[in-house]
Amino acid sequence: MLAAAYRQELVPFLRTALPIIGAQLAFMGMGVVDTIFAGRLGGQALAAVAVGSHVWMPVFMFFLGVLMAVSPIVAYRIGARENPAETGVMLRGQLLLAGLLGLVWMALLWTVGSALIAQTGLQPETATLARDYLRAESFACVAFACVFVLRYGVEGTGRTAAVLWISVLGFVVNAVFDGIFMFGWGPVPAMGAVGCGWATVVAVLVMLACWLLLYARSRPLAAFALFRWQWPGMPWAHWLSTLRLGLPIGCILIAEAGLFAAATLFMAAFGDTVVAAHQVAINFAALAFMVPLGFGFAATVRVGQAMGAGDAHAAALRGRMAIALGFLFSLMSATFMALFPESIARWYTDDVAVVQVAAHLLAYAAAFQLFDCLQATANGALRGLKDTRGPMQITVTAYWLVGMPLAWTAAFVWDAGPDGLWWGLIAGLAVAAFGLVTRFLRASRSLKSTSDPAATRH
């Protein structure tokens, strides 16, 4: 009967997951195209985009994580069959919160972000390029935050096809404007690496317009009445519920993103070639990682809907399925990285020195891919249970009390160089994966033994 239950869940799970995976791949594809285009401009531009994007990413991940709480909140409401109009009131409140958070995000990039770049040890011209690229991209912050709310609202309903096509459109727009702004076209002057940031701004504004149009025209989403004017007062209660659930998610994501960003900044001590090679390796690994991450997002929705409906057994099964599928994919992607590292590196750049170093680092990327996939799917399943504080403690401990100290010690005390930084990344991810999977499996056993379905409601 258990095998039959898994088979019955597989199709609806994949129906939810596959569009999200496609959307994540399209989103990461934006970064891949940015990297490839920057590589065509030369090692200096590639290093500038690498450092700028790794300063951008932790802050991006934090605000994404905070607003990611919208997905399980909506999923619970859908599972419990609550009034769609009330969900619409909640979403309007979250859009206001998103606008405020977007302004804070932008201010952080202009101040703290620029200061971090100045401390990297890059050549002055490269550092200036990285700072200007980051400041150009910061003008997408408010629109990005609103896109998060609208996207995760749709994901929570389980109707994820639109997530895919809007993300693909954003990928296409970003690629087109990368070419226009970075290399120049017609009356548009060539902006170099800085044009990469402005292309992101255009792509995000297009995606925001599409999401707003979808909420206005789609019949299922129209039930939320998102554009109905209503001002009963500041939506403090909705903000508090989102922040209570979302702040730990944001801390989880920034802990991981910060680990990788710090590793990239430390790579600058070994020269522009190593920084560029590290960017190639980490970018491709992150691209492959989008598949299990999509499984994790789908687990949040499927587990959350089951919990909202009071079906604890289904919630446990859906989470375990996500973890298993993510691990199976990670085995395939890690094998590909280990077997074809030089071919992968040549997709990004023709620089022989960068290709050689990147091929070496991809072997490490293959190893940590296994652990990264496990932690992502387990985290997604735990979000569906609205369990975010415990996972936050696990990940912060794993990344910053295990991973980063080991990375620094191995690289600069044991003189292992760039390899040592990657040893730390792998160790941190391994500890996080073990802790998160163990936590969900324990919760899963507890859920399965729950005799009163109503007790699972939060």
Nearest in space to 358 (alpha carbons), one of 55, 26, 50: 50
Give me the residues paired with residue 59 across strands.
none
Instruction: Give the Cα separation of 271 and 292 in Å (integer).
Output: 32
Instruction: Give the Cα separation of 100 and 142 in Å (integer).
Output: 8
- Tens of pLDDT along 393-430? 999 999 999 999 999 999 999 999 999 999 999 999 99
Summarize the confidence of residues 360-387 as an average pLDDT: 93
* Confidence class for position 2, pLDDT limits 50, 70, 90: low
Residue 58: what pLDDT?
A: 80
Nearest in space to 87 (alpha carbons), one of 71, 111, 101, 102: 71
In the numeric block, the tokens 């605000």 are attached to 63
Q: Residue 454 above 60 pLDDT?
A: no
Instruction: Give the Cα separation of 205 and 185 in Å (integer).
Output: 21
* Confidence class for position 231, pLDDT limits 50, 70, 90: low
pTM of the model: 0.85
Residue 397: what pLDDT?
A: 97
Q: Which helix (H) or strand (E) holds 125?
A: helix 124-137
Q: Which residues are CB-neighbours of 283 under 8 A, at least 6 positions away?
A: 31, 32, 35, 348
Summarize the confidence of residues 361-379 as an average pLDDT: 93
Q: Which residues are CB-neighbours of 218 under 8 A, at least 6 positions away?
A: 162
- Tens of pLDDT along 242-281? 999 999 999 998 888 778 878 887 888 888 889 889 988 9
Residue 452: what pLDDT?
A: 46
Q: What are the helix (H) ranges across 268-340? A: 272-308, 312-339
The radius of gyration computed from the CA coordinates of the chain, to the nearest angstrom, equals 21
Nearest in space to 97 (alpha carbons), one of 237, 209, 261: 237
Q: Which residues are CB-neighbours of 243 under 8 A, at least 6 positions away?
A: 66, 69
**Residue 225 DSSP class:** -
Count of domains for the chain: 1
Q: Residue 434 above 80 pLDDT?
A: yes
Q: What is the residue-averaged pLDDT of the chain?
A: 89
Structural domain span for residue 220 = 2-456
Residues above pLDDT 70, as percent of the chain: 96
CB neighbours of residue 114 within 10 Å = 18
Give, in degrees to the nearest 5, the angle at Cα 60 between 55 and 62: 110
Q: Residue 232 above 70 pLDDT?
A: no
- Tens of pLDDT along 312-330? 888 999 999 999 999 999 9
Dihedral angle sign, alpha carbons of residues 150, 27, 437, 428: negative
